[in-house]
Amino acid sequence: MFPFLSCFSGSRRRERKCLLEKEENAKYLDRYPSWDGPENSLILQAFEWHMPSDKRHWNRLKRVLSEWQAIGVDHIWIPPGCKGMDPNGNGYDVYDLFDLGEFEQKGSVSTKWGNRIELEEMIRQAKSLGVNVIWDAVLNHKAGADYPEEFPAVAVDPRERTKEISKPFEIQGWTGFDFSNRRDQYSCMKYHWQHFSGVDWDQKREKNAIYKIAGPNKNWAPDVSNENGNYDFLMFADLDHSNPEVRNDLLHWGSWIAESLSLSGMRLDAAKHISTRFQKAFVEHVRDQVNPKFFVIGEYWTGNLYDIHEYLEKLDYQALAYDVPLLRKFSSISHSAKSDLRGIFEGTLVQSRPDHAVTFVANHDTQPGQMLETPVACSFKLLAYSLILLRKGGNPCVFFGDLYGIRANVEEPMKPACDGKLPILMQARKNYAYGEQENYFDQPNCIGFVRHGNAKHAGLVCLISNGDPNNKRMFIGRQHAGTQWKDILGYHRTSVVIDKRGYGNFPVNATCVGVWVDSAAVGKDGLPGTLDLNIYGY
């Protein structure tokens, strides 16, 4: 496990402990090279599940990019912009990977998000601001076939997919894809039943089940999650990544879209359902053909840390993964009165592989009503975001629905999270969260840490309570003696003065966070204004 830094105030014993832990960290990172990314990089997931189906989202993003860049966002994760079977769908029901809102297919030219011209204009605007774009790639399945085909299949037990519960028989599945209105532009590949592993609908009998396609060299991919025996099949028509034609078409698509849109990276949707050998080949291909620094985030959704490590190993650590164990910790602790905060990072990816962990508090799959709903109590979100945005380690991702609220197409609208202070935390990461980190994880319900800053950044103090009001004496450094530190979140009006030994006594309110910065640095950098919450356009 990656050693968890826990240096407390004291004299030589504290310094010796820090030194030993740094040596252990160095040994670890020698064994597992760190991910090459910019310091304090910040991802914003630039959508939520219930965004309006107004085909104006690319224009919406273009309008707010400068605001996001100003508060520290340098990567935006955008939704699947390929044509789905439903023109109002979010794109995870992917029909044609090569149609980015350019062809009249499935009843529309545009996708739910807009057309290709608007997409390209938005990305050009992002690039001009130094904001990179992460594409959400749906490579597990296809949906909305143009016609059904007959082929042999066997029904399998949905709870144990390796168990066949029928003999081979002829079914009729929706597996014929012609993309006729695209007229072979960008790719001449047509998809038929041979290109898939399984389907979930037999049109002949009008019956829903999981059918594994039968025939020579037909089976579930062996290098996927072993949930349900084998978790290759997820939904719709499941692509067979061992088929050479499928493999070549998807590799071609990867380099085509990365180059056409000047993408910096991709999120691989449903990664635990896709052959890891194929995923590794996909990353290597795009890096070789387009961009050697192209990066990938695998959506390998599991709370089992061992399984996430195994996934990353199979990809030779050429990808990042979501820290689902940490999210589940946030959710559990947030709903338990005064849970012990000291072990909040134990058993998480950010503790064991910080450079390969994408840390988050919510996303489109975990928001209310979704299949992977993992609720973090509203009162705890400020605490959770402080822990992922202001500490060393991890690649934090902020959720659109937390930044702006969720107001469209829901029965119970949600206000912006963190009492509206999430933009301040984001800009605090950009301006102050640098340098060595000293942890004060010494009380069950009140923890804190100091970022000591560097030559360009002043550093900060963060104090977190999930219980009663509290305070903590924390070491800032003798060079700061006499300076006044301000709570930039605005919960305390009185400054903390650093004493001659370099210590300050910092307070925090009940179930709250205090983020303290040298007043001189705040005067120099300023604080963000409020975001335009009218991003929805109504």
Instruction: Look up 269 and say whether it is catalytic.
Output: yes
Strand 512-518 with 484-487, pairing: antiparallel
Residue 409's nearest CA partner among 84, 88, 94 is 88
* β-pair partners for 304: none
For the chain, how many residues are written?
538
DSSP 54: S
C-alpha to C-alpha distance for 187 and 185, rounded to whole angstroms = 5
Helix %, strand %, coil % of the chain (to 5): 30, 25, 45
C-alpha to C-alpha distance for 225 and 240, rounded to whole angstroms = 15
136, 238, 269, 323: the catalytic one is: 269
Residue with tokens 């090279």: 33
C-alpha to C-alpha distance for 176 and 278, rounded to whole angstroms = 23
200, 299, 307, 518: the catalytic one is: 299
**Coil vs helix vs strand at 281:** helix
Between 116-128 and 57-70, two packed helices, what is the crossing angle to 10 degrees?
10
Strand 75-78 with 43-45, pairing: parallel
Answer yes or no: are the C-beta atoms of 93 and 237 closer than 8 Å: no
* β-pair partners for 356: none
C-alpha to C-alpha distance for 357 and 322, rounded to whole angstroms = 6
Question: Which are the catalytic amino acids?
Answer: 269, 299
